[in-house]
Amino acid sequence: MKGEFETPKALVAETNGKSGISYHMLLQHVKDRRRVELEIEHPGRPSNANAVSNTTRSLTAFMEANSISKDDIVRDELVGTLQWDLSKKALGNDNTARRWKGELRTRIRPWAKELLQFSDTTYSKETFGERLTRLRISSLLTRRNLACEIVKDGAKPDSTKIRNWEQGSKLPRPSSRHDIQRLEKLFNVRPGYLLEKLPKIPMSALSHETGLPASIQRRVSKHLPDNYMQRSLTERDEILSWISENILSTPKEILEDGSSTSPGQSLDISAYALARKPSGRLTMAPAHLLKELDELISFKMAAMVPFSKKRNEKWGRVSADKADYELRAFLGSLQQMGLPEEIISLSICLSPEAVDRFIEWKRARRGGYTKAIETPLILLESLLHAKFGLVAQTPNFGQHLIHVPGLISKATIEKVKKNWGDACADAKEHLNQRIKNVAQASSKGRDPFEALLPVLNADAPLNEYYKIVYEIRRRMPDQTYPVRRAEALRALMLLRIGLELGFRQKNLRELLLCPRQHKPRSWKELIRIKRGELSYEDSGWKVRIPGSAFKNSGSNSVEEENTFLLSDRDHLFTEISEYIDARADLIGNENCADEFFVKKTTKNSKSCALSSSAYYEAYRSMVTTYGIYNPYTGRGAIAELRAHGPHSIRHVLATAAVRSTGGYSDAAALLLDGEATIRETYARFLPGQRHARARDILWSSLPADGSKV
């Protein structure tokens, strides 16, 4: 008679107000349900009352045999599995006990399970697997029944999936959300009754079928709404267009048909950088080029300058690695344009045609002239300096140039053969002119404050930017996803430590960690390695960093020994400790990392240190995931914010400091930089804003009521 008896609302309301279903409630429910059942089968029959008594007597006998009172809560001794079998035996094996067991098995136990489905309180602490098992058993269904319910058309039912879900060995993937909803309908429970027991899934774990290449879909997926696949094609295109314009740095990557860049083609020049080691994604650099690069690095890093040569500056390891990468990326792009492998050499900087082709190639791919074009040109120009450049000081350096249409002209080859010095001077002049052209075009086309305008235009820029911290906390994954949680805590630290210190990316990326109870490094050691260290001393966290570690180490803004005490505002120390504990999920318990900020180690990447590009991408990912408000998902902290890197923290701090004090000296002290740099580079304090602030200060002494002073 299932479906013909409706659970009284009063009983459900009473149940929800307590800790569970009592046996007293169950007895009343069984009496009412049995009476309704008998009246439907045999209306008006006098023996119906005796039949009701027999059914309730079987339940009271079960309670007496197991020492259960009416006030006890119904638990697994009646609706469970193993415990039910044990408690049933307490009734005995005589004929009367067998009749009672029959009543319990066919009526009371199934009715009790149905009743408990109306109450979330008794099983509020059960897991997803436990709830799924309980609902399946109470519905008298098998695992195969559930597998057939969620199987896709044409596929074979897989009861192993249901078993894994029930046992907790595996959890449903985000793509199984609709399968879980179908099971909820099958069990006739309220929507979300099963879904609410799944752990909070981080957005980066969600996946949708967008039809885009996998490399792009990974970047897009976490910004799509949960119901993306249920929306119309027009709405999907609208969502992807918004993501392309507001999240991705290169909108041509998606949905631009007929452009010079095909969908799925990477717009990052790093995809064409020649590799130093064999790589499945990059082309290996020829041996003769690696020899040239090693000679250049040795020349710029050696303690003693090679005999007969001069240099104007010495490179550190970071500068050398960056220059090495920029040159390999530049030459890799030329190889993509048709430069033969056998003549790939640093001497290509002598060809104005190759330089111009690179500029146009990069401009077309980036959508305009950017700093990324200017950087390798400056490096190439330094190689041609008549007094200090390695190429200029080494006649016939590298491979002999040959004619390559569009890249190396016959006129350039003749000039090089005729006079090496004049060829280097002319090429240097050409590069110098192109650097000025690119810088001028770049300054016109890009506002360094554009990505941060919603923050910098706010009444309190720092408070506005700090909203991202609250968003990260709100969406923090739980311990079910330890790696995701560790990455979210790292994102929190990238922002909070950056706002506390205001350092440049390099100093934050190289910040070392001294765990609690460990002895901090000496000043002598920190000065030798030119890095800062975060340590816990005197009941607080502090950062010790030598002046030589800063970019402007020669200025008066920094001393040789600098100590910065962190403030425990808004639970900073607690969150630092949580991140330090979670670092083990990124680097592995067997590894030991000195850096405070680390990345996930993998089979192919054993190092957990963040490179310059990896640190930038980690910060940018934090901004796009938690900072930019997405109107289609409702996630994100700040509307109209655009993607940006870690250096933007200095813009926020400088602007907030200048606007609050009206002067540039406090901002300079905060960023450890000069006032001229703050004024020209970091702070956005427009004439109208300065005028308004000065006016407000001037008139602040006027009484509000207009009375005479």
Distance CA 438, CA 360 (A): 11
Helix (H, G, I), strand (E, B) or coil at 638: strand
The stretch 12-41 carries a mean pLDDT of 72
Nearest Cα residue to 199 out of 147, 278, 258, 127: 127
Provide the pLDDT confidence category of residue 280 given band limits of 50, 70 and 90: low
Q: DSSP readout, 456-477? A: HTSSSHHHHHTHHHHHHHHT--
Which of 438, 281, 301, 290 minimizes the C-alpha distance to 370? 438
Q: Per-residue confidence at 706, pLDDT binned at 50, 70, 90?
A: low
Residue type, 125: K
What is the number of residues in the chain? 709
What is the distance between the alpha carbons of residues 633 and 222, in angstroms, rounded to a whole number?
10
Decide which of 557 and 616 is more confident.
616
User: What predicted TM-score, i.e. pTM, was given to this entire model?
Assistant: 0.64
Which two tokens mark 65?
């045999």
Strands 512-513 and 533-537: parallel
b/e 52-65 (16+ beta carbons within 10 angstroms → b): beebbebbebbbeb
Distance (Å) of CA 260 to CA 77, 269, 334, 356, 367: 70, 15, 17, 18, 11
Using one digit for the tens of pLDDT, what is the confidence trace for 294-347? Answer: 999 999 988 888 888 888 888 888 788 889 989 998 998 898 888 888 889 999
Q: 518: exposed, middle or buried (C-beta count within 10 Å: 0-12, 13-18, 19+)?
A: exposed
Per-residue pLDDT at 686 exceeds 60: yes
Per-residue pLDDT at 662 exceeds 70? no
How far is it, in rounded angstroms, from Cα 222 to Cα 13?
40
Residue 420 CB burial class (10 angstroms; 0-12, 13-18, ≥19)? middle
**Kind and range of the H or E run holding 533:** strand 533-537
In the DSSP assignment, the letter for residue 705 is T
CA distance 449 to 472: 23
- 10: confidence class by pLDDT, cuts 50, 70, 90: very low
- ∠ CA 489-570-611, rounded to 5°: 35
- Residue that wins the pLDDT comparison between 86 and 531: 531
404 DSSP β-pair partners: 408
For residue 540, list its beta bridge partners.
Answer: 537
Please say if the pLDDT value at position 71 is more than 90: no
**d(Cα 34, Cα 21) in Å, to the nearest integer?**
18
Burial group, residue 601, by CB count within 10 angstroms (0-12, 13-18, 19+):
middle
Residue 269 has pLDDT above 50, yes or no: no
Q: Check residues 614 and 174 and name the one with the higher pLDDT.
A: 614
* pLDDT number for residue 446: 58
Query: In angstroms, rounded to a whole number, what is the distance separating the alpha carbons of residues 560 and 58?
Result: 86
Write the pLDDT tens digit of every residue in 468-524. 999 999 999 888 788 889 999 999 999 999 999 999 999 999 999 998 888 999 999
Mean pLDDT of the chain: 82
Reported as type and span, the H/E element at residue 534 is: strand 533-537
Query: What does the pLDDT look like over 364-418, one tens digit per residue?
Result: 877 778 778 888 999 999 999 989 999 988 888 866 788 888 888 889 888 888 8
Question: How many C-beta atoms surround the C-beta of residue 475 within 10 A?
Answer: 15
- Amino acid in the structure at residue 160: T
Cα-flanking dihedrals φ and ψ of residue 394, to 5°? -125, 90
Measured CA to CA, the distance from residue 349 to residue 270 in angstroms comes to 19
Mean pLDDT of 91-109: 87
How much is the average pLDDT of 285-295? 90
Nearest to 397 by CA among 321, 310, 293: 293
What average pLDDT does the segment 57-84 reach? 84
Lowest average pLDDT, out of 179-183, 569-573, 649-653, 661-665, goes to 661-665
- Report the alpha-carbon distance of residue 545 to residue 563 in Å, rounded: 7
Q: Please tell me the distance from the alpha carbon of residue 633 to that of residue 4, in angstroms, as a whole number.
A: 42
Is the pLDDT reported for residue 467 higher than 60?
A: yes
CB contact at 8 A, 451 and 457 = no
Give the sheet arrangement for strand 512-513, strand by strand.
512-513, 533-537, 540-546, 561-565
